[in-house]
Structure 1
Amino acid sequence: MPVHLNPVSRTIVSVTFGLLISLLWFRPAPSAFSATQLEDRIVAVVNTDLIMQSDVRRELAPEQERIRQQYHGEELGQRLKTAEYMALTKMIERRLQLQEAKAKSVDVSDQEVKQAIQQMKQQGEKIDEKDPLSVRNVRDQLALLKVVDREVRSGVMVGDTEMKRYYKEHQTRFALPEEYTLSQILIQPRSADGTAEALEKARIVMTELKRGEKFEDAALRYSDGPNASHGGRLGLVRQGELLPAIERAIAPLVPGGISEIVETSEGYHIVRVDERTPKQFRPFDEVKFEIQSLVFQQKSEDVFQSWLVDLKNKAYIEIKF
């Protein structure tokens, strides 16, 4: 039974997509049902536009091929049904936006279409300039971009207060890597069979450190590291530059703290944290324009979704799926 979606009933298709998803233009593709040629029929009415079964098959073909390769049996059928519904929903949303572009007298010149096709080719896209459907798709895509720019993004403003609030609420996003000044004692196996001997040596060193041996002296006597003659001092190291096992071992240490023995592909490490710089953050003025872009995108998406819902509420949509 057909489902009527109009301003009276307000029963509209509920699935919506993000700004970029809704703007994706569909490309001509071989029918996914070539083995069983179905008679074409109307599957949806969007105000004065008709969406045909062949349109949905063409829209769905690339995704359907991916699903058939990935799923089987009952799940395959469910996935295909969901994909078909989502494809139709996306097409309805696109038709509504194109209708709005026409109502707002959004114009796309032939020159703009040619320039867009050239840019797409430069980016590796394969497009046939002689194919009317391909050219129309490019023209529609440009119209969608223009109408969204005019009806959505042009009215989005980002104030200083909003940016500062975003900075405060997402401060960890702007954290600088933590910095350490470290020293280490590295015990390396003398041969492929010397792992146990190296570990025993590392344990002896650890025992001496716990008894009060100065770290620098122990490094000078035992360490195989290149900085042994300098008391094992590694200098300034940033978070993320260390081997993961060492990073984890020193994470809870305060300045002066010594790690337990840490095994890595290089051997056995005993690491001391000499200094530790408290976590710092990039200042607001440094990230202001980055935040402005993030907040603008977020607000644009919110406004876009509201605009799309409004288009649906004002439209006559009938689904004959």
Structure 2
Amino acid sequence: MPEAGGIYRSIKLAAQLFGKPLEALAPEELHRVTCVATRQQEIEVLILETPEAASVMLPAASIDASLMEIRRRYADDDEYHAELERVGLDAAALRQAVARDLVVEAVLERVAAAAAPVSDTDVEIFWYMNQQRFRHGETRVLRHLLVTINENLAGNERQTARARIEAIRARLLREPQRFAEQALKHSECPTAVHGGLLGRVPRGQLYPQVDAAAFTLAEGMLSEVIESELGYHLIRCEAIQHERLLSFAEARQTIREHLDGQQQALCQKAWIKALHR
């Protein structure tokens, strides 16, 4: 039977790398997981033999919390235990594998904590050399109203649906402030309960026809009726946030966290490399 830690490591990597259970991986994905898991196992063995690992006091509550997080991925206890049996793990073996994993994480966190702090100058230099990374594209606050087309549903046949949404549009041209009310009453989009509010939307997130129309509207403007494969749409533009470059003050914390992460990763890599000597 495969070693419990190896099974757990492969399951965890399948979720991290591909968002899938282990058994659902394609052959090339499984090969990637196997290679990464093998390399990780070599590193973990070295880490677990260090004095730093021996000094870790792992609370039982931490193990319990990690096990509970795994359990929540399954609908019930029967499904959970069936999956453990399928991959060749029992509760005791899984607990041991999780504990090993947490010890490794704790050691690497201690190593990372010894990394040299990032200075204000480092942050400023990164900002001046990478300003284009902090350019935010145009976004719009939009409201949406949908009438679907369904020839098998009375009232949603193509011509009837078109007539319905044209009537709604005519009302909104006279009284634009009623969009939320009309969406609540007539829209077949889940956003109806929020008055059709889509929130702040960047380009490319809506149906292509809807997206193209939405990003030509001025603030407060109502669209023409737009047809997509889903049905007929109306869009109202509530507000426009034009493309802009974040200021240094806005970007500073993000930059610091990014550089801190890089510095910590380098510190961990150097420490692990020294273990091979």
TM-score normalised by structure 2 residue count: 0.52
What secondary structure, in the 3-state scheme, does the structure 2 residue paired with 1:178 have? strand
- The equivalent residue for 1:294 is 258
1:17-166 matched pairs, under 5 angstroms:
31=1, 55=3, 59-60=6-7, 63=10, 84-99=34-49, 101-102=50-51, 107-109=55-57, 112-120=58-66, 123=69, 134=95, 138=99, 140-164=100-124, 165=126
> Higher helix fraction: Structure 1 or Structure 2?
2
Aligned-residue CA RMSD in angstroms? 5.5
1:230-309 matched pairs, under 5 angstroms:
230=175, 239-240=200-201, 244=207, 245-252=209-216, 262-263=226-227, 267=232, 276-280=240-244, 283-286=247-250, 288-309=252-273
Q: Which has the higher contact order (CA 8 A, sep 6+)?
A: 1
What secondary structure, in the 3-state scheme, does the structure 2 residue paired with 1:170 have? helix
What secondary structure, in the 3-state scheme, does the structure 2 residue paired with 1:155 have? coil
**Structure possessing the higher radius of gyration over alpha carbons:** 1
How far apart in 1 are the matches of 2:267 and 2:158?
Answer: 66
**Structure 1 residues 267, 253: CA separation in 2 closer, same or farther (over 3 Å shift)?**
closer
Equivalent pairs counted in the alignment come to 224
What secondary structure, in the 3-state scheme, does the structure 2 residue paired with 1:240 have? strand
Structure 1 gaps of 5+ residues are 1-30, 32-53, 203-221, 315-321
How far apart in 2 are the matches of 1:132 and 1:237?
Answer: 47
- The equivalent residue for 1:170 is 133
**Structure 1 residues 97, 70: CA separation in 2 closer, same or farther (over 3 Å shift)?**
closer
How far apart in 1 are the matches of 2:252 and 2:67?
Answer: 35
- The equivalent residue for 1:51 is none
State the Cα distance separating 1:188 from its structure 2 match.
Answer: 11
State the Cα distance separating 1:107 from its structure 2 match.
Answer: 0.9
State the Cα distance separating 1:248 from its structure 2 match.
Answer: 1.7
Q: Percent identity?
A: 14
**Structure 1 residues 122, 228: CA separation in 2 closer, same or farther (over 3 Å shift)?**
same
Conserved? CA contact 2:161–2:232, under 8 Å:
no
Amino acid at match of 1:117: I
**Structure 1 residues 263, 175: CA separation in 2 closer, same or farther (over 3 Å shift)?**
closer
TM-score normalised by structure 1 residue count: 0.46
How far apart in 1 are the matches of 2:221 and 2:239?
Answer: 10
